[in-house]
Amino acid sequence: MAGADRAWEARKCTGRSRKGLEFRFQRPAPRFNPAVSRESRITVLHYTGSRRDDGGVHAVIRNIAADAHMDAVLGVSPGYGATKEPSLPVWCGPAVADEMIGAGNLWPTLQVAWKIRSWLRAAPRRVYHGHSRAGMLVALWLHFLGEDRAVVSVHCYGRHLWVYRLAHGLLGQRFLWLSPAMKRHYGLPDLSWSGCMPNGLNASLSAVMRRGPGADGVLRLGGAGALVRWKRWDLVLEALARLPASAKVRFMHIGGALDSAESRACEQDLRAQTERLGLRDRVEWRGWQPSSAGLLAEVDAVVVPSDGEPFSMIALEAMFAGVPVIATRGGGPEDFIVEGVNGWLVPQGDAAALAARIEALLQPAAWNGLRVMPEHLRKFSMPETLAGRWAAIYASL
């Protein structure tokens, strides 16, 4: 937003709500102000209800928001603090559990929906875009309240399959999957790209693909993401422990624990496992970083070992940077990794298979045939493909 739209933004939403409607903010910056938004342009409220600024979903929103032809606002909960760039104008609504589907989240998301419904009905060029489980619930409430200027992107492999199928039935073309692999998870019969809107990047494609270890012969592997159990960073440690002692392999990870006891326990377990397996010289836990650029410039390949990875932004960023990806089957990476061309796929939960693939990459022949695939990756480019598709979706609501 510009001009009158740049009143001030919450770098940190603080304070308690009064009837869930008013909040105090710290620190001047661009903040969303519905009273002064420029109605000649579409304004999209990208809602997660999150208190944190880490993870791939906010990165996806920033990529969509980079389109200069529309205004973007980030919808969050009290306690949110921006830690990534570029910062977005912020709307701080009533507190919700951003990634919970359950009875305890129905009333909070209804409160959010009432506020957003009033905002949508105040002007015709406003659109709601839900990006989390709470965001999906808000879109459903808006539907029941008679407001259809709402679209939902599913970014997760949820357990409540029937809820997602119900939401898909109610919202129709306004309910978007990331890829055919996600449709398979939710039990949809059509496994084509129809009804899918993948994540994308505002980045240029590298002209060349990495060709393996450098002159020192060290294979450098990278990983990025939250320290949570389903990401299976423990599998990487198990695989590294299976390698011969003479194998020159290093693993660098960026990311950290989320604000939950379970995630903090996972971080402690991973650090303890690193020590127990004698991997201190091979593994480096670097914590949260403002971007993945430094890691991608350093490594020869990226590892995505998750059990059911919905998409993986780090995998997409890696391929745009010319870095091949080792990923597990059964998730979104299957839809954009071409075996032996821009990466490799291994079975889920199989440390031996992952170790074998890593060991194979110590041989120069394993890197033959790798190439950047511009024709394949174009569908994930925001400037070339996705920005126009999003603009058409928003304009149709």
19: region left, alpha or beta (phi > 0 left; psi from -120 to 50 alpha): left
Provide the pLDDT confidence category of residue 54 given band limits of 50, 70 and 90.
confident
What is d(CA 349, CA 235) in angstroms, rounded to the nearest whole number?
Answer: 7
Q: What's the pLDDT at 69? A: 85
What is d(CA 145, CA 24) in angstroms, rounded to the nearest whole number?
Answer: 29
Q: Write the pLDDT tens digit of every residue in 82-121.
A: 888 888 999 999 999 999 999 999 999 999 999 999 999 9
Q: What's the pLDDT at 68? A: 78
Q: What's the pLDDT at 86? A: 85
Asked whether residue 12 carries a pLDDT value surpassing 70, the answer given is no
Q: What's the pLDDT at 19? A: 35
Asked whether residue 224 carries a pLDDT value surpassing 50, the answer given is yes
Q: Write the pLDDT tens digit of every residue in 171-195.
A: 999 999 999 999 999 999 999 999 9
Q: Give the distance from CA 334 to its chain's centroid.
A: 16
What is d(CA 116, CA 96) in angstroms, rounded to the nearest whole number?
Answer: 14
Q: Give the distance from CA 141 to its chain's centroid.
A: 24
Q: What's the pLDDT at 390? A: 95
Q: Write the pLDDT tens digit of every residue in 229-258.
A: 999 999 999 999 999 999 999 999 999 998
Asked whether residue 18 carries a pLDDT value surpassing 70, the answer given is no
Which residues contact residue 200 at a Cβ distance below 8 angstroms, ignoring those fewer than 6 apart?
A: 60, 63, 64, 316, 380, 381, 382, 385, 386, 387
As a whole number, mean pLDDT of residues 121-126 equals 94
Helix (H, G, I), strand (E, B) or coil at 219: strand
Q: What is the pTM of this model?
A: 0.84
**List of domains in the chain:** 3-199+382-396 (3.40.50), 219-378 (3.40.50.2000)
